[in-house]
Amino acid sequence: MPESEKKTRVLAVSNQKGGVGKTTTAINLGTALAAIGEKVLIVDMDPQGNASTGLGVPRETRRITIYDVVVDGRSIHDAAVPTAVPGLHIIPADADMSGVEIELSQADRRSYRLRDALEAQANGRTGYDPEPYDYVLIDCPPSLNLLTLNAMAAADGVLVPLQCEFFALEGLTQLMKTIDMVRQSLNPALEIQGLVLTMYDRRNALSGQVAADVRGHFGDKVYDAVIPRNVRVSEAPSFGKPVLIYDLKCTGSQAYLRLAKEVVGRERRRRAEPAAA
């Protein structure tokens, strides 16, 4: 399908450091995008299944998971389930995914399993004509494994959450190397969609310093919207709810709404640009 006709933007939410806000960002950016009218699919690629839990999909109902898509070729349509948020679907994950590495080691197109499934869906090859997703957000595991490679091979862009703390740039060097490697091998078109500063604490001088450093390095790739450290954000998953449903008025929810508007605005501008010759 020519790029101009391609409607869905696939974003891998990735950072090789754990605990930086990948899952929180996938859940809440996904919810905020749906709230402003985009149709969104979250793909839970982490065997820990935190995105599935945080969106209220109980373990016992995870009948078809991303494992079945990647290993057994189940369709996106079969695997996606609705959430309590209108316009937001999720493909859940489960601990049984830890076997993917072995299962796929000899498989054909083993790094392109997710990409192939998403393309089959977008091209209406799954037996019916679904309304396409505007955004697919893939919640990646922190490690560099075949699941992460499947995510990056399927993605148009990488969305990088960065925790505002001293070692923020450390994980980033590793991630940039991975992105370069993926461009050279699996997916030459992969872009850095943007970086989002998370868990920002305005009372802490270090947060401000890290934010300034990151903006110095990455310029306007860094979103203006900054996600504050907010206890409501960390409480929401234990209720199986995105923070926007749990407490719409809190600073965390409002920040994720600003981020969603920025993502959509930038995406519209990117599409309006004439394709580079």
User: Would you tell me which residues interact with ligand ADP (CB under 6 A)?
Assistant: 18-24, 50, 198-199, 227, 229-230, 233-234, 237, 252
- Examine residue 163 and tell whether it contacts Mg ion (CB under 5 A): no
Which one of Mg ion, ligand ADP, none interacts with residue 28, CB within 5 to 8 A by kind? none
Instruction: List CB contacts of 40: < 8 A, sequence separation 6 or more.
Output: 30, 33, 34, 87, 88, 89, 133, 134, 135, 136, 137
The whole-angstrom separation of Cα 29 and Cα 43 is 13
By CB atoms closer than 10 A (0-12, 13-18, 19+), residue 251 is middle
Quick one: the chain helix, strand, coil %, rounded to 5?
Answer: 50, 15, 35
Among 22, 110, 113, 229, binds Mg ion (CB under 5 A): 22
Which residue shows structure tokens 């399993």? Answer: 113
By a kind-dependent CB cut-off of 5 to 8 A, residue 111 interacts, out of Mg ion, ligand ADP, none, with none
Task: Using the minimum distance from each CB to ligand ADP, give the nearer residue, 21 or 87.
Answer: 21
Footprint (CB under 5 A) of Mg ion, residues 30-69? 50
Could you tell which of Mg ion, ligand ADP, none binds residue 30, using a CB distance below 5 to 8 A set by kind? none
| 23 touching Mg ion, by CB under 5 A | yes
Task: From the list Mg ion, ligand ADP, none, pick the one residue 88 interacts with, judged by a Cβ distance below 5 to 8 Å according to partner type.
Answer: none
Work out whether 25 is an interface residue with Mg ion (CB under 5 A): no
Task: Rank residues 121 and 165 by Cβ distance to ligand ADP and give the closer one.
Answer: 165
What end-to-end distance do the CA atoms of the chain give, in Å?
19
**What does the alpha-carbon distance between residue 259 and residue 224 come to, in Å, rounded to a whole number?**
8
Residues between 123 and 152 with contacts to Mg ion, criterion CB under 5 A: none
3-state secondary structure of 160: strand
Residues in the site for Mg ion, rule: CB under 5 A?
22-23, 50
